[in-house]
């Protein structure tokens, strides 16, 4: 199985930003410049998240999608504030290959079912921002990690797979931006309960972290932001490192 390397670009007010545990947000670059850079650097796909859409209770800002589509040659997904089938159709028409749904799914699980039936489950990604709330227990958090939904992350993964989610991005809020490694226990717990591809998110700081998530949790993809944005890790070199350690990647 070929494992995917996935840069994540958080967008706010038309700019790519990065924070730590969802706070201390700093400016990075414009989306189209980074999209072009990642297209040329060996990334397998990208995710763009409008990170303030849900907290501001508005629909996703789409202007940047057109610019990104003109600059990228690899598939990309869009998330943040997506709550209608019309939004999804518009995003696909603008060139995206996947949509990532988080808050809207928790508020209305049927939305996942309707979206997957209309557009195909392979295009509908469930995004999950997760915090540990007890021993081997994690809950789904909403509104950029500020609101505990009370929904158990493992049970939610099982439920949304049945509803038609074709892939899941599992983001550990506890690990987000710390560069101390992915939450392997969380990833393992979800991985053994669902059969759709899992993308690990939150905590990557060094090449060994990517390898650990793939080997220990058997995830299909590894997502990161700041280590790629600030060129602390080169994607081509990361892929070679993974290949040298027995991981199948596209070079």
E strand or H helix at 36: helix 31-41
- Give the Cα separation of 234 and 17 in Å (integer): 19
- Give the Cα separation of 51 and 14 in Å (integer): 11
Contact of 132 with 104, CB cutoff 8 Å: no
Helix, strand, coil fractions of the chain, as percent rounded to 5: 35, 30, 35
With the C-alpha atoms ordered 233, 242, 173, 132, is the resulting torsion angle positive or negative? negative
Residues designated as active site: 10, 129
């Amino acid at each position: 199985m070929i494992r995917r390397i996935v840069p994540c670009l958080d967008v706010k007010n038309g700019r790519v930003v990065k924070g730590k545990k969802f706070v201390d947000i700093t400016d990075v670059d414009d989306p189209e410049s980074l999209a072009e850079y990642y297209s040329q650097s060996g990334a397998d796909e990208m995710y763009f998240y409008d990170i303030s859409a849900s907290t501001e209770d508005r629909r996703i800002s789409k202007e940047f999608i057109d610019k990104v589509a003109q600059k990228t040659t690899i598939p990309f997904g869009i998330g943040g504030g997506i709550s209608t089938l019309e939004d999804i159709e518009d995003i696909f028409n603008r060139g995206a290959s996947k949509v990532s749904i988080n808050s809207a799914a928790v508020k209305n699980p049927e939305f996942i079912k309707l979206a997957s039936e209309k557009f195909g489950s392979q295009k509908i990604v469930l995004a999950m921002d997760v915090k540990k709330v007890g021993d081997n227990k994690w809950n789904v958090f909403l509104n950029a990690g500020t609101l505990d939904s009370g929904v158990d992350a493992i049970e939610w993964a099982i439920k949304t797979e049945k509803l038609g989610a074709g892939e899941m991005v599992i983001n550990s809020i506890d690990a987000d931006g710390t560069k101390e490694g992915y939450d392997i226990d969380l990833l393992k717990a979800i991985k053994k309960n669902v059969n759709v591809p899992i993308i690990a998110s939150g905590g990557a700081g060094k090449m060994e972290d990517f390898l650990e998530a793939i080997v220990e949790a058997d995830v299909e993809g590894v997502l990161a932001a700041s280590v790629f944005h600030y060129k602390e890790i080169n994607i081509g070199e990361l892929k070679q490192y993974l290949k040298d350690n027995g991981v199948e990647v596209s070079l």
